[in-house]
Amino acid sequence: MNIIVDNLATNYQLTGKGKLVVILHGWGDSLRSFSALQKELSGTYSVLAIDLPGFGGTQAPQDIWGLDEYANFVENTVNKLELQPIYAIIGHSNGGAIAIRAIARGKLQPAKLILLAAAGIRSGKSLKLLALKILTKTGNLATIWMPEVQRQRLRASLYGAAGSDMLVVPELEETFKKVVSQDVRDDAAQLSVPTLLIYADHDLAVPIKHGIAYKKLIQNSQLDSIHQASHFVHHDQPAKVTKLIMDFLK
């Protein structure tokens, strides 16, 4: 289904009946990532899955966006569809960071929050951000003599070595830089909504130590570690993740 939100053609899926659950995917992903979970939840709840701007079937923003713009977009989507109140939000990776920012700023007011491998804890000393800073300052100048094809290959290899998702959507490069520079720990410390944190023991993108940090910051939160799973924990261990979510929502 499609709707115009913030002048962007927006793709979404609304299924089921009951209390509203909103699903927010991560960077480079789409609502399809949660098809199985959405189907399961739709037996009990009304479930809204949104393709965030620049991903899936939703247009990319013309300007440089950060977490605040994405938070505003989610709020405006829910309001335009007249789906308030929100019972729960499920946010994966960057979708979790957006949810934290949106709730802390009063944009969204769910009764419950579920964070799946949520991002948003940034470290200025991390290899990823260091590589981004180096490339931003010197990459173009240092490779200006190269043919364009070679420049793109070099940039891709450097970003890949840093574990960066930037080149997943090249046209959102500046938006990616802005998003990964925004830390939401102060926002998380403002939350008191009952929160379920689900992290994976083999997640190299957002390690479980981030979940531990959020557990300390967010009042009324609980942390579950999923074994033998990576960043897409809802794909690697779908039965376990679904049960945790269903039990928490009850």
What is the SS3 string spanning 95-164? HHHHHHHHHHCCCCCCCEEEEECCCCCCCCCCHHHHHHHHHHHHHHHHCCCCCHHHHHHHHHHHHHHCCC
What is the model's pLDDT at position 142?
47
Whether 120 shows a pLDDT value over 60: the answer reads yes
pLDDT band at 105 (very low <50, low <70, confident <90, very high): very high
User: Please, what's the largest Cα pairwise distance for the chain?
Assistant: 60
Mean pLDDT of the chain: 87
CATH code for 2-122+182-249?
3.40.50.1820
Instruction: Write out pLDDT tens, residues 187-213.
Output: 999 999 999 999 999 998 899 999 999
> Is 1 in contact with 56 (CB distance < 8 Å)?
no
What percentage of the chain exceeds 70 in pLDDT?
A: 82
Instruction: Write out pLDDT tens, residues 33-47.
Output: 999 999 999 999 999
pTM: 0.85
Find residue 137's DSSP bridge partners.
Answer: none
Q: Can you count the helices (H) and strands (E) in the chain?
A: 11, 8
Dump strand ranges (E) for 26-65. 46-50
Task: Examine residue 85 and say whether the peptide bond preceding it is cis (omega within 30 degrees of 0).
Answer: yes
Among 34, 27, 28, CA closest to 13? 34
Instruction: Write out pLDDT tens, residues 122-177.
Output: 875 444 544 444 444 444 444 444 565 555 555 544 444 444 454 567 789 999 99
Instruction: Write out pLDDT tens, residues 210-242.
Output: 999 999 999 999 999 999 999 999 999 999 999
> What is the residue extent of each domain of the chain?
2-122+182-249, 127-175
Residues 64-69: what's their mean pLDDT? 98
Length of the chain: 250
What is the model's pLDDT at position 84?
85
Residues 112-120: what's their mean pLDDT? 97
